[in-house]
Structure 1
Amino acid sequence: MSPTEQQDHYADTAFRTDTIPRQAPPPAKSTWKKLGSNLDVARLPWGNYIGVNPTLYEYDNEWFEDYQYMKEDYLNYAMINEARWSKFVDEDISLLYRFLRFWFVVFSHGFSFIGGGGYFITGIVALCTVLFLFAADNIIDALTPLIIVASVCGIATALRRLYETYSIRFYKSNKNWSDDIAFCRRTGMVKSFQGNFPFYEFDAFIEMRADMKGNQFHSLKVRHRYPQHSKDERNGLPLDFDFPADGNIAQLYAMWDMLGRYMDVSQPLPDIPRLEPFRHLDPTTKAFDEAGKRDRPATYWRDLYAKASEKELKQWREEHRKVVEAAPWGSRTDLMAQSVPGYGGSYTAEPEDVNAYGRFPNKADRFVERAEAKDASPQNKRDGH
């Protein structure tokens, strides 16, 4: 039975931090510049999990909207489940369909009385109707524009209601998350158009960019360490993936921490809303929960979102941001240095104060050398693939 066919347990290739094999040295840092990467602020450490999730995934309104719309179908059409974290939407539809769908959503959501501009537009026309009521030849002529606008917004509202009621059909036909471009927990592999590679061959970088106005912002890049095996032949760029957070640099550390725990089958699935419906399907997580270590009801997140107000969620988000920023992200030893010769020499430094750098990046910031990992395990001495 091949690894991808093992549905009830993990494949032999599944990722565990204590079984990372010996690997080839990484390319020099200058190689990445030739491949077109932006300015890398820091390479984040492997292992040594903090166990804090990014706020974007801990308190996520979109999750509950998807869950409410899809209900039992959520298990089949979610971006992330107990087996894989998909990074690509496979839409087998025509350009004409995409064009019509775009304008349908613009109309139904933009002019609707539900969360759209329906009341605002109708109110403006109503005000104009009152101002010009006495200039019209008769009241019918004066009210006609208002009647037309109100009718259009009413139609948009009805279409939005239909969209929300039957959105699962829309979702199924247009939001098919691919199993072929994904981070796969059961097998420990990262699947891509360029091939399939072990998760331990990827590194996480905080990348600094600038917009057209010169404003700086940061993003998390998870990039394959060996571009000679995975770069895109069409454009020569290395294989990498973006993972969103809310922009704060500590949130990017939390995102990498959560992804590592998601892929590491020695760890339970991260306790976030999107993964709660799948916890019982993952062996490690199921054992963790049945042992009472989660210390939460099986439907904790679902019940919380069903009862919480937006004001409460906003307060919890702010409180959680403080938790993320207070976590000890900086100056941790890097587990991968045990398994990759010359690993520390390719990227050695990170901001001395992670949170201060995230808020106020400037040339005066100090960078520190990361402490080297000690006590290499015997498993790390065998040859890598």
Structure 2
Amino acid sequence: MNDVYQTTAYRSDAIPALPPGGHPDMDRAFQRLPWGHNQNPIVPNTIEAQLAYARLFESDKDAEDGYPWGESVFSVSKGLLSGLQGFLYMLYMCSLLAFFVFLIPLGLLILKVIFTEPSIKGVLWIYDTFKFIYLLIAIGYFGGKYGRLQLAYLTDKRQRANPTGLYRREGLVRIKEGKTVFEAPFIEFDAYLVHTPSGRGGRYFNLVLQHRYSTHQLWMKGLLTDAMNQKEVYAYWDMIQQFMDVSGPLPDVPIFEPFRARDPVTAAHDERTGRDPRKWRKITREDWRKNHEQRWQNRLRETNFHHACILDAHIQGRGLPLPDEPRGAMLA
């Protein structure tokens, strides 16, 4: 088991002494989230996406290709291609919704033709009324669905070549910037709850990992994007810490379920506790909404995420300016 995890892997029960460093300007502008005391890694608003991802891996053989999330790497998508795939997915979903919405006026017109003008002329009237509407819906549906799949296929190699993400077994964070890659230990990053205007008088919240000893940062938009409830970001940070902490099992959330047997610490934990290996994959989207979502929303609301940071006692001079020689490594 020790051969699987490198000496640089993060262990919450063995935190080393860390040099001075920090970002006072970030501390003034945003809330720095504490390390440790993980208690609620479930982010309810991401569960439907997680369940859909987990069901892609029905067998152990499928789990050999855990991308973008698996037992060793939590990838964080960046760039135009990821945004374009997201747009095509939204186009597909909106077109599907429009198809069912326009069934109502279509049905009413069919009834009107049946009772007032049951003839070829009436059929042509229906056709002329809805042909352009359903043509646009068809273009949006098939273009969004298959265009996204084709784009994913064509860009798969390029996306996989982007090493940006968190690496559990190595305890490292890698950030691709142009043609270079910045790499530093996970324990050298501070988590910030950042906010941006929603355009409707409110705020969107997200999680940013800021390297304590340089200006490099990583927006954690791989799973949670623009949350309206800041507690979702707290829970997301809990999940990220548990993913990286090799002193304990992977967080018990859907996206990691297919890969739990491939992580030694997690496999030992599951065998000891008798965890059902398909606990999450037995839950459908409808079942989640009907029987589980409200319970987890209540748990999220009642969880107190404010506690002392376990890292502060190990950082000399927390909050001092950046060192003259920034830490971390730039890889070719």
- Regarding TM over 0.5, the answer is yes
Following superposition, the deviation at residue 168 of structure 1 comes to 7.0
Aligned counterparts, 1:22-101, within 5 A: 22-30=17-25, 32=26, 39-40=29-30, 42-57=31-46, 60-68=47-55, 71=58, 73=62, 75-88=64-77
Partner residue of 1:271? 252
Seen in structure 2, the aligned counterparts of structure 1 residues 135 and 261 have a Cα distance that, compared at 3 Å, is closer
Following superposition, the deviation at residue 344 of structure 1 comes to 6.3
Aligned counterparts, 1:299-378, within 5 A: 299-305=278-284, 310=286, 312-330=288-306, 332-343=307-318
Q: Deviations over 1:238-273 (max 9, x none)?
A: x13235275323322221111111101111000111
1:143 aligns with 2:132: no
Q: Deviations over 1:52-93 (max 9, x none)?
A: 432235xx2223334445655464253211011000268889
Q: Secondary structure at the match of 1:300?
A: coil
Distance of 1:180 and 1:11 partners within structure 2: 18
1:9 aligns with 2:4: yes
Partner residue of 1:204? 191
Distance of 2:233 and 2:88 partners within structure 1: 34
Following superposition, the deviation at residue 29 of structure 1 comes to 1.2
Unpaired segments ≥5 residues, structure 1: 1-5, 231-238, 347-383
Seen in structure 2, the aligned counterparts of structure 1 residues 68 and 251 have a Cα distance that, compared at 3 Å, is closer
Specify the structure having the higher radius of gyration (Cα): 1
Seen in structure 2, the aligned counterparts of structure 1 residues 172 and 83 have a Cα distance that, compared at 3 Å, is farther
> Out of 16, 20, 24, which is 2:15 matched to?
20
Seen in structure 2, the aligned counterparts of structure 1 residues 288 and 109 have a Cα distance that, compared at 3 Å, is closer
Seen in structure 2, the aligned counterparts of structure 1 residues 257 and 162 have a Cα distance that, compared at 3 Å, is same
1:249 aligns with 2:227: no
Distance of 1:158 and 1:217 partners within structure 2: 32
Amino acid of the structure 2 residue aligned with 1:260: Q
Distance of 1:92 and 1:324 partners within structure 2: 33
Q: Deviations over 1:126-174 (max 9, x none)?
A: 54576689999x9434322423647984996799699979987765445
Aligned 8 A contact 1:251 1:325 in 2: no
Amino acid of the structure 2 residue aligned with 1:124: P
Q: Deviations over 1:79-115 (max 9, x none)?
A: 211011000268889xxxx69x967984x6555xxx4
Amino acid of the structure 1 residue aligned with 2:192: F
Following superposition, the deviation at residue 201 of structure 1 comes to 0.9
Q: Deviations over 1:282-337 (max 9, x none)?
A: 111111112x22x42111111233xxx6255344111112212222322x221211
Seen in structure 2, the aligned counterparts of structure 1 residues 89 and 29 have a Cα distance that, compared at 3 Å, is closer
Following superposition, the deviation at residue 202 of structure 1 comes to 0.8
Aligned 8 A contact 2:66 2:259 in 1: no
Aligned length: 311
Amino acid of the structure 2 residue aligned with 1:193: K
Seen in structure 2, the aligned counterparts of structure 1 residues 166 and 132 have a Cα distance that, compared at 3 Å, is closer
Partner residue of 2:174? 191
Seen in structure 2, the aligned counterparts of structure 1 residues 131 and 325 have a Cα distance that, compared at 3 Å, is closer
Q: Secondary structure at the match of 1:124?
A: helix
Q: Secondary structure at the match of 1:22?
A: coil
Structure 1 window deviating more from structure 2 (195-204 vs 205-214): it is 205-214
Amino acid of the structure 1 residue aligned with 2:255: R
Seen in structure 2, the aligned counterparts of structure 1 residues 48 and 120 have a Cα distance that, compared at 3 Å, is closer
Structure 1 window deviating more from structure 2 (268-277 vs 77-86): it is 77-86
Aligned 8 A contact 1:44 1:205 in 2: yes
Aligned 8 A contact 1:39 1:208 in 2: no
Aligned 8 A contact 1:87 1:178 in 2: no
Distance of 1:329 and 1:218 partners within structure 2: 16
Distance of 1:152 and 1:77 partners within structure 2: 39
Percent of aligned pairs sharing the same letter: 22
Aligned 8 A contact 1:87 1:177 in 2: no
Amino acid of the structure 2 residue aligned with 1:184: Y
Seen in structure 2, the aligned counterparts of structure 1 residues 179 and 275 have a Cα distance that, compared at 3 Å, is farther
Distance of 1:301 and 1:275 partners within structure 2: 10
1:240 aligns with 2:240: no
Unpaired segments ≥5 residues, structure 2: 322-326
